[in-house]
Structure 1
């Protein structure tokens, strides 16, 4: 007998569809809820997805127990629960605290660890991962990701599975202060409307990426170079992009060690500063990465210039 579907908001249905497109365990759970919303039985859903009926029933119960199942940013009851073992290293808070550490006793790994409630070994591990070098009179990073090194965020580009983001790296004096929290609101509005965008021709991918780079340069602040971090090194393997790699005022390449999404989160966090940076940077980067992974090839690129 068909099951009466539970009413779902349009926002929740969109979040479920994106999770289903992204695949993985959470994607299967999202498919369960979407099929249930169509009135399908547990047995029918299990047969279609090739999973146990008990699994279908369990996730339907968990979803029903939640207020609306999925919150607007796509996380919630269908996400994987935290796993046991060593907790994740709070890399972004360490980077933010490092950039703002006082010279007197606060720039040692031990001093920073005491401020954050971490071990000195954890702080040193983050420093090694991001190439952070701490001196008495200066703190710098090989990755160019610390507040004070970043002048401001430049733009975001998504084209199917390809992603790139740009920021202006200060080459001389320290950068200006933190950005306003509303800096990224137009970008988030564009991401929310991404499903309605038209398709484009895949053979234009390198030309679309070059257009993104062309649009960035007029906004270049004095005393900066343009840093563009790509999700896949193959994005630069094009005759169209090759001239950009030789420019002294542009640096294009993949993240040096951290993943693309966490690198994006770290840049946004540095832009916004210690107050809201860590949480906002991670939230925005997760949203961008889910959209990048779920977007089909051939969709018109998402291009935002700050």
Structure 2
């Protein structure tokens, strides 16, 4: 069945200003901000499929709000009134809660709770919770972030992302890193198994039985992992891992390694080895940017599915379990697909930098 052509959108200057305000303002509801962004993308000439991919929404969602705007312009993006009892909370009440949440803190805490905000605003806790939910506010949450100060950040992002999106011919791209100091831990009392109505239970304290270091090289295309376990993580162990990769990868293929700026990757011994093996090409990630190395995503799988809740009374048992887990992974490997272009990444970082600058003034 043929797909209907997307309806063309041409904005007036006033409409564009209103939509950009909705999309940018921190006090806009998430739904309204998203709908405004859909229309702005459509006005830029993008197809519904392109918009859906960029904004990570479904294609029918894009079609619905695009058509709604064509028919009713900006008013079509606003939530329609629904049947029910009259509102008891005014727009001024909502705005006051949002402004207080964003621009102030209670006297006795670092952030608002529903209880403290309800007392401050003279509303119920449920009313505060609904307002926060509508505006995407979560005062109880805090996320960590860090901007790289690498002077070659832009060049390195283009280099690494280019490898992911357009890998070279007759070559394999491997994301390499070490997960060091993996601890063999056992609880001080037996783990109590899950029962109906009761989750698995463990003691809060544990005993240490030593550590191990895992070297891993994730094939970007296939998802296969080359791994090695060592007691330490020095240049000596890294060189042994390079030799392992050299044996594992067919001799007629170049080897492009994505890795971080650890000093063990740049010692004279490593440099001599690389000169003797010219098919190896190193691509360093920007400093403080482990998120760009796909093997970190694989390490997260290993941690979540094995290490986080396992118990080991020896390093040997720990290494056996890791080796078996990697072997199981390689039986049915699942590559991680990189979706963002380097330009999109740099644009997102520029937005974060602007937010940082505004928060400092």
Shorter-chain TM-score above 0.5: no
| TM superposition score normalised by structure 2 | 0.27
Larger Rg: 2
Larger RCO, structures 1/2 (Cα 8 Å, 6+ apart)? 1
| TM superposition score normalised by structure 1 | 0.31
